[in-house]
Amino acid sequence: MASLPRPLPGMLLPRSMSKRRAIAAINSSGQAGFLVRCGRHNIILIPSRESSSTSTRSLHSSSTQSSPSSNLTLSGVPSPSLLPNHQHHHQPQGAGMGPPKPAPLSVLPLVTVLRSWMTATISSSPFLLPPSLAIMSMLAHTTNPVLNPDSNPLLRALLKKTFYAQFCAGEQPAEVARTIKGLKDVGFEGVILGYAKEVVAPHGQEGTGSLPKHVAEETKVDMEEIDSWAQGTLMTVLLANRGDYVALKFTGAGVLALQCLRQGADPSPQLKKAIESICVLAQSRGVRLLFDAEQAAVQGGIDKWTVEFMERYNRTQPVVYGTYQAYLKSTPETLSQHLQEAKKKGFVLGIKLVRGAYLGSDPRQLMHDTKEDTDKAYDGIAEALLKRDWQVGPLKGEGQFPDVSMVVATHNRDSVVRAKRILQHESKTNDVAFAQLQGMADEVSCELVAFNQQEATEKQEKAKAYKYLVWGSTGECMKYLLRRAYENRDAVQRTVGSRDAMRAEVLRRLKSLFGLA
């Protein structure tokens, strides 16, 4: 019989050597060791001294029993990732290592990941995006029934399964309820729900005319526009659940609302009654209202109305929130005035902080000069509110800070991470939510969800994550979808990041499917 080779860690034994002779070789060396089969070869594995007392193996069995602290010296042995997958579970984990944390995007259904990947790929492509925008713009503004998704079933079916499903909640209440439930099942705290239907003023009447001599002289058309807007918003409040938000635009109430806002007038009697009915219903259902920011020409009027309704309905709990755009140079001063008014009159100031969405229409001189300046403004405002340490305008230097409820609405990951860190360790404002649009920045949203599920402790504030989405028929949602497409065009860097994140998640799932993860 040929002499047995001296066993060494990582030695490839001859294929002709039987398992029995290989075991005898290990035993004759006086060292504890075992074999691993790799392809057609046996490989000798010899534990390090530190682990030899905590890891044992029956040389004639195919299983290893080890304590969590055991570790093997794999001198000269290929990396475990190169071994066949069925061998991986034989390798004991390193000291102190628990089970790997799931990838944040793993909570999303595969169809959502694939659809997000497709949407982000189109939005980040200089070749695919321009024709896509042209087609969507045509569909959003068409008067041709063939091009209207609500009257063309084939077109409706195509859009419903793609872009509509990516950004919208549904057409009917039951569909909306399923979408909301699906988001909450994933781990989101709730939703911000909006009604997609918009009132489009006839050309030349976009709120630029003078007000009627008596605002009470509302025409039949004015009242129909207000009633349509109010009914849609009331239905949206009914579709939302306790703790959710509902977003509304005052300009959706028609031409008279636009005229009142432009000229800083109070809402007309019919419009005021409609807003009050919406606030009362929201308050009774535990739903919060986000009054959206709009173009600079009407924003002063919106701010005025917002504070008036806050004073009335935010006495104990926040119901009404204003939207503050960080890209406007005037925002810190505006916020300072509203904070002082909330302190003086004793109401909770509801704040939704955004970067801004009217770059293409607001006068350039009103905005910060660079994106970096806007980023600094956003992060600075968020930090001051979270720490209750305001140092701008009439509130500067005053000790007592009013009660504040805040929605950090941004797709910027750096801003989210920064605000979350302050919320965990330094915040004195506890009523804080984070929000991103449905179908956008899912990699940011899902990181918040993962944090809440895996890392948040009882002593830490949860980073409550919400998704903003609209409901309505496919045709009604086209203008909203077009705005989302333009927003993606204007944020190419972020869109590329979303595309890459979705692609990486698809590859991760494929590797996991074939045991390569």
> Which residues make Cβ contacts (< 8 Å) with residue 514, sequence separation at least 6?
none
Q: With beta carbons less than 8 A apart as the criterion, state whether 268 and 260 touch.
A: yes
Residues 439-449: pLDDT tens digits?
Answer: 999 999 999 99
> Which residues make Cβ contacts (< 8 Å) with residue 247, sequence separation at least 6?
192, 193, 194, 289, 290, 292, 468
Query: In this predicted structure, what is the pLDDT of residue 392?
Result: 73
Query: In this predicted structure, what is the pLDDT of residue 452?
Result: 86
Of 2-6, 226-230, 494-498, least confident by mean pLDDT is 2-6
Residue 81 forms part of a structural domain: yes
Query: In this predicted structure, what is the pLDDT of residue 214?
Result: 47
Q: Between 69 and 365, where is the model more confident?
A: 365
Longest dimension (CA), the chain: 116
Q: With beta carbons less than 8 A apart as the criterion, state whether 319 and 275 touch.
A: no
Say how many domains are in the chain. 1
Q: What is the pTM of this model?
A: 0.76
Nearest Cα to Cα of residue 167 among 148, 132, 191, 146: 191
> Which residues make Cβ contacts (< 8 Å) with residue 379, sequence separation at least 6?
414, 415, 418, 419
Q: With beta carbons less than 8 A apart as the criterion, state whether 261 and 302 touch.
A: yes
Residues 369-413: pLDDT tens digits?
Answer: 999 999 999 999 999 999 998 877 666 655 678 999 999 999 999
Residue 478 forms part of a structural domain: no
Query: In this predicted structure, what is the pLDDT of residue 123?
Result: 85
Q: Sorting pLDDT into bands at 50, 70 and 90, what band is 73?
A: very low
Is residue 313 scored above 80 in pLDDT? Answer: yes
E strand intervals along 46-143:
55-57, 64-66
What does the alpha-carbon distance between residue 128 and residue 130 come to, in Å, rounded to a whole number? 6
What does the alpha-carbon distance between residue 290 and residue 192 come to, in Å, rounded to a whole number? 9
Burial class of residue 48 (count of CB atoms within 10 Å of its CB; 0-12, 13-18, 19+): middle
Strand duo 64-66 + 55-57: pairing: antiparallel
Q: Sorting pLDDT into bands at 50, 70 and 90, what band is 218?
A: confident
Q: With beta carbons less than 8 A apart as the criterion, state whether 359 and 334 touch.
A: no
Q: What is the 3-state secondary structure (H, E, C) of 386-400?
A: HHCCCCCHHHCCCCC
How many residues are listed for the chain in this entry? 517
Residue 72 forms part of a structural domain: yes
Report percent pLDDT > 90 for the chain: 56
Residue 335 forms part of a structural domain: no
**Token duo for residue 362:** 């607001």
3-state secondary structure of 190: strand
- What average pLDDT does the segment 422-437 reach? 89
Print the domain residue range for 86: 19-90
Q: Which residues of 260-295 are buried (b: 16+ CB within 10 A; e: fewer)?
A: bbbeeeebbebbbebbeebbebbbebebbbbbbbbb
Q: Which residues of 61-96 are buried (b: 16+ CB within 10 A; e: fewer)?
A: eeebebeeebbbbbeebeeeeebeeeeeebbbeeee
What does the alpha-carbon distance between residue 178 and residue 175 come to, in Å, rounded to a whole number? 5
Query: In this predicted structure, what is the pLDDT of residue 99?
Result: 57
Is residue 310 scored above 90 in pLDDT? Answer: yes
3-state secondary structure of 12: strand
Amino acid found at 202: P
Residue 237 forms part of a structural domain: no
Residues 353-363: pLDDT tens digits?
Answer: 999 988 878 89
Is residue 15 scored above 70 in pLDDT? Answer: no
Query: In this predicted structure, what is the pLDDT of residue 48?
Result: 41
Residue 235 forms part of a structural domain: no
Residues 262-308: pLDDT tens digits?
Answer: 999 999 999 999 999 999 999 999 999 999 999 999 999 999 999 99
- What average pLDDT does the segment 129-155 reach? 91
Query: In this predicted structure, what is the pLDDT of residue 296?
Result: 92
What does the alpha-carbon distance between residue 472 and residue 171 come to, in Å, rounded to a whole number? 5
Nearest Cα to Cα of residue 450 among 434, 438, 439: 434
Nearest Cα to Cα of residue 334 among 258, 247, 395, 406: 395
Q: Sorting pLDDT into bands at 50, 70 and 90, what band is 17?
A: low
Is residue 343 scored above 90 in pLDDT? Answer: yes
Mean pLDDT of the chain: 81
Residues 462-488: pLDDT tens digits?
Answer: 789 999 999 999 998 998 888 888 877
Residue 303 forms part of a structural domain: no
What does the alpha-carbon distance between residue 248 and residue 236 come to, in Å, rounded to a whole number? 9
Q: With beta carbons less than 8 A apart as the criterion, state whether 446 and 436 touch.
A: no
What does the alpha-carbon distance between residue 471 and residue 374 come to, in Å, rounded to a whole number? 31
Residue 351 forms part of a structural domain: no
Residues 35-54: pLDDT tens digits?
Answer: 545 445 455 444 444 434 44
Query: In this predicted structure, what is the pLDDT of residue 90?
Result: 43
Question: What values do phi and psi take at 351, rounded to 5?
Answer: -130, 120
Query: In this predicted structure, what is the pLDDT of residue 396?
Result: 60
Query: In this predicted structure, what is the pLDDT of residue 67?
Result: 38
What does the alpha-carbon distance between residue 246 and residue 479 come to, in Å, rounded to a whole number? 19
* Cα–Cα distances in angstroms (integers) from residue 289 to residues 86, 247, 413, 497, in the given order: 54, 6, 25, 31
Residues 84-118: pLDDT tens digits?
Answer: 333 334 444 444 445 567 788 988 999 999 999 99
Query: In this predicted structure, what is the pLDDT of residue 111?
Result: 92
Query: In this predicted structure, what is the pLDDT of residue 19?
Result: 59
**Angle of CA points 263, 354, 393, to nearest 5°:** 70
